[in-house]
Amino acid sequence: MTRNYLGLALAMMLPAGAALADMAGDPAKGEKVFRKCMACHAVGEGAQNKVGPVLNGVVGRAIASVSDFTYSDAMHELAAQDGVWTPEELAQFLAKPRDFVKGTKMSFAGLRKEEERADVIAYLATLK
C-alpha cells in the first residue's frame, strides 16, 4: 500500500518538474519585456517605489514586504497564505494579476505569453 502512495506522489511531481523546466527564461529578453512594467515599477541601483514597489530581489522575497510601500489588503492576505514570491507564483500573478490576487491594486492586465513571463522572471532573478 505504501508503494502505491509513493508512486502516486512521484507521478504528481512530474508535471511540477516539467513546469519548473519551462520556467527557464532569457534575462536579456526579460529586460526588454520589463519595459512594459517600468511605468509602475523600478529596478536597479537607487530604485524607488512608484505606483508599485521596487522589484529588486522580488524572486524569493517575502510577499508584500517592501517596508515603505503600501500594499492592498488582498496582497497582505496573499502574504499571510503563501509567504514568498517563487518563480511559479510570479508566473501565475503576471499572467493575470487581478485573477491571482482578487482585490490587488495592480491594474496591469498581465503578460499573456508564457515565454515573456519566464523571461521577465529570469531578468528579475538577476536583480538582487
Each domain of the chain, given as residue ranges in start order, spans 24-125
Residue 53: what pLDDT?
98
Residue 97: what pLDDT?
97
Between CA 122 and CA 101 the distance in angstroms is: 22
> Which of the following CATH numbers is that of domain 24-125: 1.25.40.80, 1.10.760.10, 1.10.287.1260, 3.40.50.1000?
1.10.760.10
Averaged over successive runs of 10 residues, the pLDDT of the chain (128 residues) comes to: 36 38 82 97 97 98 97 96 94 97 95 98 97
DSSP state string for 51-71: SS---TT-TTSBTT--TTS--
Which residues on neighbouring strands pair with residue 84, listed in sequence order?
62
Q: Enumerate residues 6+ apart whose C-beta is below 8 A from 91.
A: 23, 114, 117, 118, 121
Residue 23: what pLDDT?
61
